[in-house]
Amino acid sequence: MTTGLEGKVGLVTGGTSGIGRDTALLFAKAGVKVVVAGRRELEGQETIELVRAAGGDGLFVRTDVSKDADVEALVQKSVEKFGRLDIAFNNAGIEGVWVPIVNQSEKDWDRTIDINLKGVWLCLKYEIRRMLKQGGGGAIVNMASTMGMIGSVGAAAYSASKHGVMGLTKSAALETARSGIRINAVCPAVIETSMSERLFSAPEVHKSVLGRHPIGRFGRPAEVAEAVLWMCSDRASFMTGQCLVLDGGFLA
């Protein structure tokens, strides 16, 4: 059974590494023309080279998702290059500074919310506008987290941003359902990325966090990418306004 994505145009923010890069490659292998967005030019071009090596076609657009003009330009450049926009994975995000609320600076709070939550809102705004202009139809997946369902000591800003993404996803899905645009979120637990290395590399911390994953390991970027591909495909045609948890038993 095919995915129904052949010939479509997809956008991946935060596509310079990790989950975003793996998703861009999987999109390309499914026949999607891929636009990769991120702040790091070198890594972004590396992703595009991998996309082309996989037989796909791609474009990198340097983007700060917290800036309205950048996101508007990203969608516009995607359309200028490939003619339309059919699917999107709003993946860009940061962990922020993990400290108790009483020690959190306003600057750190604002930066985490700006990228993780405002960035998703801006992406939705311009992606939806484009899809509606095309006559409706399309699929969007937002990056949330299991931290969007629970709290954690020292991670208030990150957790709040991901709770916000889940609320944003549901509202956007309701606004666009009649237009044939499906909007969902993916909620991973700890995945083997540079972010998790920064947060959990200390031996005792690693052991403690790993112990909260009953499956006995952290997730792999490709496992999240597979879920995103499915959620964007025709196979998930009756799914909207939902958050798909991939957590190795973490929440259970």
Exactly one of 27, 89, 158, 250 is catalytic; name it. Answer: 158
18-29 and 41-53 are packed helices; what angle lies between their axes, rounded to 10 degrees?
Answer: 30
- How far are the Cα atoms of 64, 93, 213 from residue 158, in angstroms, in the given order? 18, 9, 20
Question: At 223, is the secondary structure helix, strand, or coil?
Answer: helix
**Secondary structure of the chain: what % helix, strand, coil (to 5)?**
50, 15, 35
The residues near 205 (Cβ < 8 Å, ≥ 6 apart) are 199
116 φ/ψ angles, rounded to the nearest 5 degrees: -75, -35
158 is catalytic: yes
Catalytic residues: 158
